[in-house]
């Protein structure tokens, strides 16, 4: 077994790991190692904004598929994620969404996470951000993360925005400002034809530092714990060689909501029954590890376009050649777009804050886990914003190479199913409003035979068949001030010294919207805590 030693060892080179490693290396003077199971982000499809769907079909993404889910009529629930430097920020749709002010206030007031209220996290969002348009109380312009308006704006997205306003949704100029509610253009982490991933914006400018080591192709086997202190990471490299990577000061796990709890459990930190089942010696009993799994769930309402105005075929034949010429030679055109350019956040339940997010796009999504459908179409995609359903992540075996066991329970709570019912109804209203009613034809999903009228049951099975992840798994290493929380409010693992978790798994409850921005904020706060200590 080969050995290395550093002050800090970070397990997981995704959005959180890149932010954390960059700050610790730049500001602490200590030696930092960042371990990533995947490879460097050399895949050109990562960096061209419009080709993110190709990345999700490449070796740079991996899928964890749930056990048959009773809430989906026993259908499995596949959850893809990045397995490459930059993690989710290298494979996602690049929507920049922080969530609602009330989300963070609830973390503090309802979940015992003092110091995580909105007033406390807003300065972190602002200092990370380099916004190309907005400079006000809510936004920053001097950070490393470039946040921009989508380019070039697709005219069909403008048509959906107009229809949303005709259906009664107020216009929004900023989903991350004073209020979230409204319909309009997103801001995105893509600019000048380049995806603005955590690897690109935060990590790469610091890679020349002698005190920062990037170790790709390293799969974490377990954390070695001695006398209730995390001392080292056991890992295998891409050739299968064994490594022991010692940490003089701390180990920080940033492997995401599916793999961070897996690493803890393989290391003997987790529920007694789970560890006993797989013959893993317990270091610290922590029943909450792997629990509290939840995700945003969506069902895309889709209609065919009457004319060939959508994106079908844009990556084939002469159209692909034209777009490639525009991008590589002229620096313009469709490939600069993140495709998911516009959306809405709507209070469909009348509770005073949005509960459904809509993504708009000029293409037809296939069934969950399948490629887009082969015709010109529009989608208005409703998604739950604050899911009530909870699942669990466990182990399939004690083999670190095995995928985690996922029990998604994606729509187990009636509240989540009802949220999607309301979301589908409003999406259909938007399609019937001008100008969409003049440019769209047959409904693909739910389809003309499915009623969404209140009191009708025909929609429920259609939702269960269509429901899909929005790529936002969270909560499996819950933060809190209670004794059952996995980490405390400074992200230290309860019961073990020298160990933290700092990614979206620590969220006690999902933020209302996309999770990449909150995940980077969490990592930045972890750096604050470590540097202060």
288 lies in a domain? Answer: no
CA–CA separation, 191 vs 193, rounded Å?
5
User: Does any domain span residue 359?
Assistant: yes
- Report phi then psi at 418, rounded to 5: -65, -35
Q: Indicate whether 363 belongs to any domain.
A: yes
CA distances from 290 to 228, 256, 265 (A): 20, 11, 9
Contacts of 447 (CB under 8 A, 6+ apart): 462
Q: Which of 198, 233, 185, 256 is nearest to 406 (CA)?
A: 256
Residue at 11 is within a domain: no
Residue 437 sits in a domain whose CATH number is: 3.30.410.40
Q: How many Cβ atoms sit within 10 Å of the Cβ of residue 227?
A: 7
Q: What is the 3 state secondary structure string of 338-389?
A: CCCCEEEEECCCCCCCCCEEEEEECCCCCCCCCCCCCCCEEEEEEEECCCCC
Residue matched to tokens 């430097």: 85
Domain boundaries, position 333: 151-185+297-384+412-466
Per-residue pLDDT of the chain (533 residues; tens, 9 = 90+): 999 999 999 999 999 999 999 999 999 999 999 999 999 999 999 999 999 989 999 999 999 999 999 999 999 999 999 999 999 999 999 999 999 999 999 999 999 999 999 999 999 999 999 999 999 999 999 999 999 999 999 999 999 999 999 999 999 999 999 999 999 999 999 999 999 999 999 999 999 999 999 999 999 999 999 999 999 999 999 999 999 999 999 999 999 999 999 999 999 999 999 999 999 999 999 999 999 999 999 999 999 999 999 999 999 999 999 999 999 999 999 999 999 999 999 999 999 999 999 999 999 988 776 778 899 999 999 999 999 999 999 999 999 999 999 999 999 999 999 999 999 999 999 999 999 999 999 999 999 999 888 877 789 999 999 999 999 999 999 999 999 999 999 999 999 999 999 999 999 999 999 999 999 999 999 999 999 98
Assigned domain for 280 exists: no
**Residue 351 CB partners (closer than 8 Å, separation 6+):** none
Measure the CA–CA gap between 19 and 145, rounded to whole angstroms: 10
Of 307, 318, 311, 268, nearest to 289 by C-alpha is 268
477 in Cβ contact with 289 (< 8 Å): yes
- Does residue 322 fall inside a structural domain? yes
In total, how many domains does the chain have?
1
Q: Hey, which residues are catalytic here?
A: 472
Asked if residue 511 lies in contact with residue 103, where contact means CB atoms within 8 angstroms, the answer is yes
476: Cβ–Cβ under 8 A, 6 or more apart, which residues? 257, 258, 260, 261, 289, 290, 291, 292, 293, 393, 505
Q: Report yes or no: 416 and 336 within 8 Å, Cβ to Cβ.
A: no
- Asked whether residue 275 is assigned to any structural domain, the reply reads no
Burial 231-246 (b: 16+ CB within 10 A, else e): bbbbbbeeeeeebbbb
Report if residue 362 sits inside a domain: yes
Give me the phi and psi of 279, to 5 degrees please.
Answer: 70, 30
Run of H or E residues at 264: helix 256-266
Q: Tell me the two tokens of residue 263.
A: 């690493």
Contact (Cβ atoms closer than 8 angstroms) between residue 265 and residue 432: no
236 phi and psi, to 5 degrees? -120, 140
């Amino acid at each position: 077994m080969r050995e290395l030693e550093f002050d800090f060892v970070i397990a997981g080179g995704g959005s959180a790991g890149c932010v954390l490693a960059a700050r610790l290396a730049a500001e602490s003077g200590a030696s930092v190692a960042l371990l990533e199971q995947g490879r460097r982000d050399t895949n050109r499809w990562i960096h061209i904004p419009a080709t993110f769907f190709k990345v999700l079909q490449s070796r740079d993404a991996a899928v964890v598929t749930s056990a048959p889910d009773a809430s989906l009529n026993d259908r499995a629930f596949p959850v893809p994620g990045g397995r490459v430097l930059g993690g989710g920020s290298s494979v996602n749709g690049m929507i920049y969404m922080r969530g609602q002010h009330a989300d963070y206030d609830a973390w503090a007031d309802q979940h015992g996470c003092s110091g995580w209220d909105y007033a406390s996290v807003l300065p972190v969002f602002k200092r990370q951000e380099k916004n190309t348009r907005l400079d006000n109380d809510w936004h920053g312009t001097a950070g490393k993360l470039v946040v921009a308006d989508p380019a070039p704006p697709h005219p069909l997205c403008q048509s959906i925005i107009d229809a949303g306003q005709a259906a009664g949704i107020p216009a929004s100029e900023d989903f991350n400002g004073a209020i979230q509610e409204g319909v309009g253009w997103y801001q995105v982490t893509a600019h000048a034809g380049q995806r603005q991933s955590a690897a690109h914006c935060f990590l790469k400018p610091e890679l020349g530092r002698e005190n920062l080591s990037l170790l790709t192709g390293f799969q974490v086997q377990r954390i070695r714990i001695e006398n209730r202190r995390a001392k080292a990471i056991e890992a295998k490299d891409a050739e299968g060689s064994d490594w022991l990577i010692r940490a003089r000061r701390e180990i920080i796990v940033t492997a995401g909501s599916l793999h961070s709890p897996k690493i803890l459990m393989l290391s003997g930190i987790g529920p007694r029954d789970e560890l006993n089942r797989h013959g893993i010696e317990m270091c610290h009993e922590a029943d909450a590890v792997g629990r509290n799994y939840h995700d945003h769930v969506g069902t895309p309402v889709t209609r065919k376009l009457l004319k060939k105005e959508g994106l079908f075929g844009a990556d084939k034949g002469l159209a692909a050649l034209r777009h490639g010429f525009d991008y590589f030679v002229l620096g313009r055109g469709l490939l600069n777009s993140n495709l998911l350019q516009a959306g809405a956040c709507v209070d469909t339940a009348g509770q005073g804050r949005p509960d459904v997010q809509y993504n708009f796009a000029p293409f037809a999504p296939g069934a969950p886990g399948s490629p887009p459908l082969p015709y010109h179409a529009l989608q208005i995609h409703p998604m739950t914003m604050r899911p009530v359903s909870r699942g669990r992540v466990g182990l399939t075996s004690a083999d670190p190479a095995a995928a985690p066991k996922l029990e998604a329970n994606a729509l187990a709570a009636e509240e989540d199913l009802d949220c999607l019912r309301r979301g589908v109804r409003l999406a259909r209203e938007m399609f019937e409003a001008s100008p969409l009613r003049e440019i769209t034809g047959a409904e693909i999903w739910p389809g003309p035979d499915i009623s969404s009228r209140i009191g009708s049951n025909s929609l429920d099975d259609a939702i269960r068949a269509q429901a899909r992840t929005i790529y936002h798994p969270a909560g499996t290493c819950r933060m809190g001030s209670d004794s059952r929380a996995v980490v405390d409010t400074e992200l230290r693992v309860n019961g073990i010294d020298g160990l933290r978790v700092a990614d979206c798994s620590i969220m006690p409850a999902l933020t209302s919207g996309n999770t990449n921005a909150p995940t980077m904020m969490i990592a930045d706060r972890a750096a604050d805590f470590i540097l202060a200590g």
